[in-house]
Amino acid sequence: MDLTFHTLPNGIRLVHCMTTSEVAHCGVIINAGSRDELPEEHGTAHFIEHMFFKGTTHRKSFHILSRLEDVGGELNAYTTKEETAIHASFLREHYPRATELLADLLFSSTFPPAEIEKEKEVVMEEINSYLDNPAEYIFDEFEELVFPDQPIGRNILGRPETVKAVTGESIRRFIARNYSTSEMVFCSVGAISPKNIIALFEKHFGRIGSREGACRQRSEYRYRPVTFEKKMETFQNHCIIGNIGYDLHHTRRMGLFMLNNILGGQGMNSRLNLSLREKRGYAYNVESMYNPYTDTGLITIYFGTDSRNLEKSISLTHTELERLRRQPLGTLQLTKAKNQIRGYLARAYENHENLMLSLGKSLLIFNGIDTMEEIFRKIDAVTAIELTDIANAIFEEASLSTLIYRQNGEKG
């Protein structure tokens, strides 16, 4: 993978991977998310993502939406706890159009008051939709339990009262405090030469003056295992079991990533999927997820099941965790686990939109990008003993927290 890097005097960085595809992708990733909000700003980072599409000094909302869609492209954005991104997919001849549009949205948005008021209703409906889906809502409530009264534990969408309090001035304050140009990366994957992408990058992003905001401070997390359940008017029970995990810079992050995949990753042959779904039919959806952050992490196991099978599913989950703690992987099992991870990563890189975002995030977080060969070497370096040590550190039963949405009676 041949990469091009470039840094502007204002601190904005570029990473570009040249391809031969007719379809290209580019975006901007900003090191600012919901964890950077003050308590009264809860939901502001996500609200700003919405408002990027609502008007600039050059365009009204309709013209923003039409700029790429008129030529078959797509404009999108997302917010996480630690980053905000705007990105586009388009035919390769429209690189100038896409690059100019992204710069316009990021640096020339006007946040019209009428649009802010209208978008509050949209976000409120997004919150209501999310509250209607317990399989999504339980993840955020679990993080609030694990990280009580801490910014990393707050959900991304915000609360109705904080969303209603958003103003143009509060948006500008958040941006001024958190949108540093040295914490922005323009990422690109497409059929354009390094010379031409650098020229576009300098033309549209080089005119921006340096902006420095507050640096994110590492936090000390006060974790105490907790078990909580509540009655819900649902068609099944929902359960999450989990613990804090390693942060993005931890030397054992790859080991935990691999262990998570063995336990309940995307493969149908994961241990939890085989135990709960394939062998016994207790669950339709069972998975584990590992989310590393700047200074902490979270690993969760989720499943939904009928009341008859809830306690049995919880018991089986703990049995699988016990196996990981007590039975080191054999040579063949370890080889299969590593080959599976290699295949997943290689396939993900074949998706050029995913690759574009991955390159941008890696440069933003680590100020560098590992080659596929370097990633494979890190995978190969993980040992069975290390995986057992990680399992004992993370999956010790006394260290686990549990949240259950218990079905409140039968639904007809």
Tell me, yes or no, if 373 is annotated catalytic: no
Task: Compute the distance between CA of residue 45 and CA of residue 63 in angstroms, rounded to an integer.
Answer: 23
Q: Which pair of structure tokens corresponds to residue 180? A: 């540093």
Task: Compute the distance between CA of residue 191 and CA of residue 110 in angstroms, rounded to an integer.
Answer: 32
**3-class DSSP state of 24:** strand
Q: Which of 397, 245, 256 is nearest to 317 (CA)?
A: 397
Task: Compute the distance between CA of residue 186 and CA of residue 356 in angstroms, rounded to an integer.
Answer: 9
Fill in the amino acid letter for 135: A
CB atoms under 10 Å from CB of 56, counted, come to 22
CB atoms under 10 Å from CB of 220, counted, come to 7
Q: Which pair of structure tokens corresponds to residue 382? A: 């993980």
Fill in the amino acid letter for 349: Y
**3-class DSSP state of 274:** helix
Q: How far is CA 313 from CA 280, 389, 401, 407, in A?
A: 10, 25, 16, 15
Q: How far is CA 369 from CA 16, 123, 205, in A?
A: 11, 35, 22
State the catalytic residue, choosing from 41, 49, 115, 119. 49
Measure CA 77 to chain center: 12
**3-class DSSP state of 252:** coil
Task: Compute the distance between CA of residue 200 and CA of residue 211 in angstroms, rounded to an integer.
Answer: 20
Fill in the amino acid letter for 345: L
Residues 27, 86: contact at Cβ < 8 Å?
Answer: yes
Helices 331-350 and 384-394, axial angle in degrees (round to 10): 80
Residues 182, 364: contact at Cβ < 8 Å?
Answer: no
Task: Compute the distance between CA of residue 138 and CA of residue 213 in angstroms, rounded to an integer.
Answer: 33
Only one residue has tokens 């949209």, namely 122
Catalytic residues: 49
